Structure 1
Amino acid sequence: MTHAPLPGPIDPPARLLMGPGPISAYPSVLRAMSAPLVGQYDPFMTATMTETQELYRGVWSTRNEATVLVDGTSRAGIEAAITSLVRPGERVLVPVFGRFGHLLAEIARRAMAEVHTIEVPWGQVFTPSAIEEAVARVRPHLLALVQGDTSTTMNQPLDEIGAICARHGALFYTDATASLGGNDFEADAWGLDAATAGLQKCLGGPSGSSPITLSDRAVEVVVARKSIEAGIREDGDPDAADFVRSNYFDLGQILDYWGPRRLNHHTEATSMLYGARECARVLLAEGRDAVIDRHRLAGAAMLAGVRALGLEVFGDVAHKMHNVVAVEIPDGVPGDAARTVLLEDFGIEIGTSFGPLHGRVWRIGTMGYNARQDAVLTTLAALEAVLRRFGAKVPVAGGVEAAADVYRAAA
């Protein structure tokens, strides 16, 4: 019996990831992830977990003791939050302004919640009054709201939503996967009860770890959920309203693992812990506000650049995230073919979109390690060449010069 030859060591091509995520990781994050492993109860390991918790309190702008990591992609954090906070039959309200609002609604339905949604057209966000009207009408146990939705590039204002939820007795959860680290976020000041994110956007790491923070009020809800053993009725069947259906995503058990008792729940993903710690350390070393300002500047430069190339920007620009812009694909330019040329000839990746925007826009990111001048200018120069190759009439160096002007003005 013959076998195919073994493949060689992993050797990815050089790429500049300028899409909506994942992005090119900070070099120090990749170095951290290559550090030696230790046992899960080694003093170095538990000390690193404690350090990481404190670092992410700074990232989230919170004093929440319950600030931990959920092992898995950002969706793992979302699922842990919703399934642990919501009992079957409880009402969840999801304001939907893009693809990821639909995801929150789906996960809540899988948790057997009674899900209510309100929607605005893609490219817009909700006013506080629209959300309060829905909260007053639905009376939800939980309001689940995306902050930054990369499918539309919109950034939903959250600063008034916590007070709305408090007035009506609702828990307030947000998915900040696409926005945390590159846009303003104030977990305590905004009255968040729960928030989750991922590393692969503005935090500048790989996908695979989901930071989460929970208020004391949210922790009370989580720990009140019974274990499955305690939730068995006298007839031997489980009381579906009491226990978290998932063992892996049971935040009560995860908090016990990260807490002072260090009760075994899973084996922590050591290399991802190292990477997540370094993502937070890099952000806080540069300065949280400085990193947000760097994203703001890179986003403004990219916006000016694509407009100077004659591209139309999708959506309400006043509510666009700092770290990604959606541009209308010019008539006559094959969107996917142009993206392929950009990738194969220039080593630069940008994204398409979903649903009603699929094939209509490109999404160009400036986030994490790539929220810097050389990455912005290189992407605009390459995009100009590709547009010209497909017959679009664009000004020579127009995008590069417009973006450079933004940087020069900020110097």
Structure 2
Amino acid sequence: MTQNIFGQIDPPSRMLMGPGPVNVHPRVLRAMAADMLGQFDPEMTEYMNQTMALYRTVFMTENRWTLLVDGTARAGIEAALVSLLEPGSRLLIVRAGRFGLLLSEIAQRIGAEIFTIDIPWGEVATLKQIEDGIIAHRPNVLACIHGDTSTTMAQPLDGVGELCRRHDVLSYVDATATLGGMPVATDRWGVDIVTGGLQKCMGGPPGSSPITISDRAAAYIMSRRHVEAGIRSANTTDGTRARIASNYFDLAMIMDYWSEKRLNHHTEATSMLYAAREAARIMVEEGLEARFARHAAASRAMGAGLRAMGLTLFGSDEHRMANVTGVYIPEGVDGEKVRTRMREDFEIEIGSAFGPLQGRIWRIGAMGYNAAKHKVLLTLGALEAVLRQEGHGLVSGRAVDAALAEYGE
């Protein structure tokens, strides 16, 4: 029978318990169905102002420049880097996983001079290692990942901002995987730019990247802007003029669009604005501390259940992210076959891994709308059943019992 390729989209109702994206909160989906508005209608610009205010709470900051970059989380990353760097800029990157490598890939295209603090996957950098790197390489910018889902580890950031300011270094943090699930304490950390995404702990769809920018970073970004015959350019170190590498991701232009000036830069992705606004509203209504506690409880229960199956978690508990857990695939078990059976038999997705961890661990998430007790229990029960079917000896029910006990405590 020939399939109707023009039939209505009818995706399976699947529970996404991998490293992201995750299931979108129903309220966010409903918000996205709202009608369009003109880009400069007062109702639209008021929604933009409200979104800025909401994300100041989400980012735990007083930064005036807290807004959205249209595009997936990578759009925010690229906007930050292309606006802070130019050819010849010195960039120091803390690299401890796949997404630290991504920062290198983007910076290389910009033409920055790249230095790295390379940390084994599953470990984090110390403040001393970061300071030693700054002293050795004297960068213009320090960049790092808060929570790298490729390793499931969270980099401690207390003291990093103060350290960078002491050495006159601008700082950038990618918090895509942690925003909305762990404290992203922008002002306490003292870092200059932090970016995130909706598709993980925020419980939204991919397509919008919240960003917050300190006054210090904003002043630097605006100082790079030079308008001559309609072309924006930036001063380079040798006194010549080099154009900023992107128009779409030029934060100075985006900031003008979100400011009281409302200078036209792009057509705001209206439905994604609605989604971002509603995702932040849900978080603020829940309360930040309650939100973080919910994610931490789900993580502890997931870890307890996995260990009750006799499985070994990857990395240290001290630095484990609160929303995704790495677990070693048992010897003799086909990891991809287990993932397939989880998806086909139970409509539950868990994640595979990248790089040196590929084929060695699964990554199991419990974040955003999915950081819920019943979803943790269903995932553990399904994984236990599949492992038994694959010949891995387990005592039935131990995983769920262990998770219930953890929640009971």
- Measure, in 2, the Cα distance between the counterparts of 1:321 and 1:123: 11
User: Aligned-pair distance for 1:6?
Assistant: 5.2
Say whether 1:103 aligns with 2:102. Answer: yes
* Matched residue, 1:123: 122
Structure 1: 5+ residue runs without aligned partners? 234-238
Task: Give the alignment's TM-score, normalised by structure 2.
Answer: 0.96
- Measure, in 2, the Cα distance between the counterparts of 1:240 and 1:208: 36
- Measure, in 2, the Cα distance between the counterparts of 1:243 and 1:291: 42
* Matched residue, 1:236: none
* Matched residue, 2:362: 362
- Measure, in 1, the Cα distance between the counterparts of 2:274 and 2:241: 37
Amino acid at match of 1:343: R
Cα contact 1:225–1:242 (8 A) shared by 2? no
User: Aligned-pair distance for 1:240?
Assistant: 7.3
Q: Deviations over 1:346-375 (max 9, x none)?
A: 000000010000111000001000001000
* Matched residue, 1:278: 278
User: Aligned-pair distance for 1:229?
Assistant: 3.8
Amino acid at match of 1:361: I
User: Aligned-pair distance for 1:133?
Assistant: 0.4
* Matched residue, 2:41: 42
* Matched residue, 2:60: 61
* Matched residue, 1:314: 314
- Measure, in 1, the Cα distance between the counterparts of 2:117 and 2:143: 11
- Measure, in 2, the Cα distance between the counterparts of 1:350 and 1:327: 11
User: Aligned-pair distance for 1:232?
Assistant: 8.6
- Measure, in 2, the Cα distance between the counterparts of 1:60 and 1:154: 20
SS at match of 1:336: helix
User: Aligned-pair distance for 1:226?
Assistant: 2.7
Cα contact 1:88–1:240 (8 A) shared by 2? no
Cα contact 1:227–1:243 (8 A) shared by 2? no
* Matched residue, 1:81: 80
- Measure, in 2, the Cα distance between the counterparts of 1:88 and 1:228: 19
SS at match of 1:327: strand
* Matched residue, 1:406: 406
- Measure, in 2, the Cα distance between the counterparts of 1:229 and 1:276: 35
Paired residues, number: 402
* Matched residue, 2:171: 172
Cα contact 2:348–2:379 (8 A) shared by 1? yes
Amino acid at match of 1:102: L
Amino acid at match of 1:262: R
- Measure, in 1, the Cα distance between the counterparts of 2:99 and 2:141: 17
SS at match of 1:261: coil
- Measure, in 2, the Cα distance between the counterparts of 1:240 and 1:303: 55
* Matched residue, 2:141: 142
User: Aligned-pair distance for 1:336?
Assistant: 0.6
Task: Give the alignment's TM-score, normalised by structure 1.
Answer: 0.95
Amino acid at match of 2:212: T
C-alpha change, 1:403 and 1:232, in structure 2 (3 Å) is closer
**Structure 1 residues 5-404: aligned runs within 5 Å:** 5=4, 7-227=6-226, 229=228, 241-404=241-404
Structure 2: 5+ residue runs without aligned partners? 234-238
SS at match of 1:188: helix
Root-mean-square deviation over aligned CA pairs:
1.5
User: Aligned-pair distance for 1:152?
Assistant: 0.1
SS at match of 1:46: helix
Amino acid at match of 1:255: M
Amino acid at match of 1:345: D
Cα contact 2:86–2:245 (8 A) shared by 1? no
User: Aligned-pair distance for 1:243?
Assistant: 3.0
- Measure, in 1, the Cα distance between the counterparts of 2:243 and 2:225: 5
Provide the identity percentage.
Answer: 55
- Measure, in 2, the Cα distance between the counterparts of 1:343 and 1:179: 25
